[in-house]
Chain A
Amino acid sequence: MARSPEQVAAQAAERPTVPAVPQPATAASQLQAADRLIALTRAAGSESRADPAVQALALAVAANLPVLLWGQPGIGKSSTLVQLARGLALPLETVIASVHDPSDFAGLPIIGADPASQGVAMAPPDWAVRLHRAGSGLLFLDEISSAPPAVQAALLRVVLERQVGSLRLPASVRIVAAANPAGSAADGWQLAPPLANRFVHLAWVHDPDVVVRGLGGVWPHVPLPQLDPAKLERSVARARAAICAFLTVRPDYTHRMPATAAARAGAWPSPRTWEMAMRLLAFGYAAGAGTGAGANTEAADHTTTEAVALAVRGAVGDGAGLEFLAFLERQDLPDPETVLADPDHADLPERGDLVHATLAAVVDAVARTTTRERWESAWTLIARLAATVPVDLLAAPAMQLATLREPAWDLPAQLDGLTALEALLAWSE
């Protein structure tokens, strides 16, 4: 997808068709011309782009989980949010957390006529009222790492319970926050662990290619995940099963607070973040990620799978997230008995190591219960794979399968298709 700057510039140069500006005579008309010029430099189109980080953001926002974007100042976090809000057709409220008082998030006490019987109302700020009135919206909390600890503490309830003073924001309000990594902004505070644990953390880096396209006039737009209504129940069941299976095997990952202060300010596994990961995974499955073992290895699916992986890692942290995803990959291999039942049409993974693992499981299954049908079925599978995968993957399973042969059995007919395997074994001698 790399494009030269000239192409981008050429494309941008063609788009605007603007009527001629009248001759600037007065100061007012000069200013008008300046404003028009500014408007022209701002005009930009958008294109969809397979970027896992952007998709992970869209996925978490769709799943209504608070997202925290970590990135250097000036790399376009805010402009991405503007795009996102436009794409979702939601009103965007931006609040710079670092310039606010704790009472702006906890509410300002207002005494009514009879405080003793009616209590004191905690008045919410105007942005919260606007969001409440709209019924939905996108709340963008910028620079929360620069907010002092007292303000961060006040933000806890906003982020998790959507409670601003006496006002509860509607459940459909999405929350996205942004922070500068402590290393880049020396005046930042460390994010408090309780606040950090309520977010899906996404690292936001600038891609030079995206910047070139954007300055040429085309920014990437943030596509919402396409959920398949037929798959909703199954997706939830699958996500639940996956997480329960993993935490049964690795209970030590249920709750693990990191040792260093730097890591505690990021994502780490806790029951709350596992629940977030479960929701992300369910959304990912419903959007078509990790249909994995099938033949559909479309580029879009691949990106969705990467996006789900990024989001899950952002929820439970890199250590737990990667272990979980590796576990999931091995768990999602096709069942050897299903493959043996229909070796010609069974769904098989595409990646070499997964093919090899599936094949090894199939040969194991044949070795456990050896019948002629199963044995020949396994040969059919090998012959089918010989046409599509590098043949060295088949060498070890084929040799193991050959040793299982009973003297009375004929040589399998499928051996004719395996000349490549013989060529390989000839080199190995």
Chain B
Amino acid sequence: MSATTTVSTLKIPTPAVMAGPSRLTARPAGLPAPWEGQPAKAAASQAAHHEADRAERRDRAQAAADLDTPKLLAARHLAVTTCPYLAVALHAIAVVPTYAVPTMGVDRHWRCYVNPAFVRAHPVRELAGVWLHEVSHLVRDHHTRARRLTEASARHEAAGRPGSAPLDPDNPRREQVRLNIAMDLEINDDLFESLRGPDKPRTLHRRSKTDDADDANDTTPRLPEGALTPSRLRIANCDLFEQYLHHVTPTMVADHWTDCGSGAHDGPVPWEDDAAGAHPLGPHEAAAIRISVRDAIAAGRGTAPSGWQRWAEHYGKAPQDWRTLLGAAFRTSLGAAGGAGDYTYRRPNRRTASLGGRLVLPGLHRPLPQVAVVIDTSGSVSDMDLGSALTEVAAITRALGVTGRNVAVYTCDAAVQTAQNVCRAEELTLVGGGGTDLREGIRAAMTRQPRPDVTVVLTDGGTPWPEEQSGCRVVAGIFASHRSLTRFGSDGTFIDCRPPEWIETVYLE
């Protein structure tokens, strides 16, 4: 049964008139299942499946009949007029009425599930606030970020890296709610700022009647009672949900259960359709919409709050795991320096014999590269950070067969403390803790015999760099952001602690 016939056979006046059948009712036409045609054994489970399906369709039809569509759409209209930069995204969302969802929720295919009772119970301006909240989940691509974080956590556990992962892979249901809370905080801190405005302070406690009377002229959207905000949870304001996540404790999960759907936390949700449901939005369409939103914010249409402006500046520059970046820079240097090797006649090619001895080909000689690692132990870098960066470098060198005396590690603060030949990070002793001048360490590495092909420098960045180019490739891993390395001193001089261009630099934030 198609969505359209559902509507017409039940003689429901509202959806057909108010919103039309195309994007407002959800269940797709009955897709022929691949196993149809062999009814013998699958029949029983198929019947159960169909029963559940029918119940769901009944729920959807009932909900479509009960939904106060004009009110819900008036709320969206209000949201669009308040935040014009989100107009494209808000308009792209398809509405699915269902009683299965507690309030409102979005899925990763940009469908918004709405409970008609929730629409009845809340004023238009609060519904507009919820619209803005839900669309923020989608525009900020929370489900992709959640998946990335989950995968990174699983890798973290599997690799046995030092420190604890941001998410506990063994506890997916709890982590899903934790994620959702952190995401709600990321959205709501901004939303309050932009909706209330600085001149209209509003108490977070229950409003009295007089407050409501004051609010009567105020038609800006607002969030419903009980929305999660950083101040309510006594958490300092942060920028991203990844940062909020550190503050969201498991106890909060019990107190503030919240579920904005798979469009937020990327987990399974019982009331959602899969990708085969009606009107899904593909990932590339979603990306195109995000680009429109970004352009609208940049063009200054509407006064976007600072959180959205920061988002627009950073959109498209997805944060990458620094391990990947450091590993890539290091591998490239190794490949270019020692790995490529050279052809030499000192060792004839192993194919020479098969050529009948008439032709002597040079053999490919690939010496193992010499690697030097210079570590900043000046005290400002935490052992945890150093340890995890060093583990990464050690894993790569070991995998490429570079071990033992081919790797030299120098720990250095203002002077070189130790020089060690190691092949395991655990064997290393870190000595130091004074001021920082890594030039000493780099010089010591360069003067070693045999000369290193690649030097890796791990530091927090507060160090001067060598003036002239050294004879080998240098990769620097810096525990700081790109911007924090340049500043103006107290006497107005420009201080630039960034490494020179010939050093391949990775910022390990």
Contacts and interface: CB of A to CB of B under 8 A. Distances in A.
Nearest to B93: A352
B24 interface: yes
Contacts of A396: 77, 80-81
A148 B74 CA distance: 62
Contact of A102 (B74, B327, B364): B364
Most buried by B among A103, A182, A355, A423: A423
Contacts of A325: 284, 287-288
Contacts of A391: 18-19, 69-70, 73
A182 B340 contact: no
A265 interface: yes
Interface string A392-429: 11011000000000000000000000011001111110
B289 interface: yes
A270 B124 CA distance: 50
A220 to B, nearest CB: 11
A111 B354 CA distance: 12
Contacts of A350: 22-23
Interface string A370-408: 000000000000000011111111011000000000000
Interface string B81-102: 1000001110111110000000
Contacts of A393: 91
A238 interface: no
A171 to B, nearest CB: 30
Contact of A322 (B281, B284, B349): B284
Contacts of A4: 45, 49
A182 B399 CA distance: 12
Interface stretch (A90-98, A132-140, A184-192, A229-237): A184-192
A349 to B, nearest CB: 11
B93 A427 contact: no
A109 interface: yes
A7 interface: yes
B274 interface: yes
Nearest to A181: B324
B328 A1 contact: no
Interface string A186-207: 1111101000000000000000
Contacts, number: 208
B396 A1 contact: no
A392 B335 contact: no
A305 interface: yes
A142 interface: no
A427 B287 CA distance: 32
B65 interface: no
Contacts of B92: 351-353
Nearest to B41: A10
Contacts of A3: 33, 35
Nearest to B77: A392
A330 B293 CA distance: 13
B221 to A, nearest CB: 12
A423 to B, nearest CB: 4
B22 A392 contact: no
A66 B350 CA distance: 31
Interface residues of B, number: 85
Size class of the A contact interface (CB-based, 8 Å): 35 or more
Interface stretch (B198-206, B355-363, B405-413): B355-363
Given A6-B45, A265-B328, A390-B24, A109 B18 contact: no
Contact of A302 (B74, B78, B91, B282): B282
Interface string A161-192: 00000000000000000000011001111101
B335 A11 contact: no
Given A6-B45, A389-B22, A186 B284 contact: no
B292 interface: yes
Given A182-B331, A420-B18, A390 B325 contact: no
Given A1-B31, A14-B40, A351-B285, A186 B395 contact: yes
B506 A260 contact: yes
B355 A109 contact: yes
A309 B400 CA distance: 37
Given A10-B41, A11-B42, A352-B93, A149 B284 contact: no
A13 B38 CA distance: 12
B77 A356 contact: no
Contacts of B75: 427
The dominant DSSP class at the B interface is helix
Contact of B287 (A322, A351, A353): A322
A7 to B, nearest CB: 5
Contacts of B91: 351-353, 355-356, 393
A386 B21 CA distance: 11
A33 to B, nearest CB: 26
A108 interface: yes
Given A183-B323, A261-B332, A427-B71, A392 B76 contact: yes
Contacts of A427: 70-71, 74-75, 124
Interface string B309-353: 000000010001101110111011001100111000000010100
A299 interface: yes
A110 interface: yes
Contact of B284 (A10, A265, A306, A351): A306
B23 A390 contact: yes
A295 to B, nearest CB: 10
29 contacts: A1-B31, A10-B45, A11-B38, A47-B34, A102-B364, A108-B355, A111-B358, A150-B364, A182-B328, A183-B323, A187-B400, A188-B331, A190-B335, A261-B328, A262-B324, A262-B325, A262-B329, A265-B328, A313-B284, A322-B284, A326-B291, A351-B91, A353-B89, A356-B88, A390-B20, A396-B81, A420-B69, A427-B75, A427-B124
Interface of A: 1-4, 6-7, 10-11, 13-14, 47, 52, 101-103, 108-111, 148-150, 182-183, 186-190, 192, 218, 260-262, 265, 299, 302, 305-306, 309-310, 313, 318-319, 322-323, 325-326, 329-330, 350-353, 355-357, 386-393, 395-396, 419-420, 423-428
Given A183-B323, A392-B80, 11 more contacts: A11-B38, A103-B349, A148-B335, A148-B366, A190-B335, A262-B329, A309-B282, A322-B287, A353-B91, A353-B289, A395-B77
Top 6 A-B pairs, shortest CB-CB distance: A427-B74, A309-B284, A262-B328, A186-B399, A326-B288, A423-B70
Interface of B: 16-24, 31, 33-35, 38, 40-42, 45-46, 49, 69-71, 73-78, 80-81, 87-89, 91-95, 124, 155, 274, 276, 280-285, 287-289, 291-292, 316, 320-321, 323-325, 327-329, 331-332, 335-336, 339-341, 349, 351, 355, 358-359, 361, 364, 366, 395-396, 398-400, 504, 506
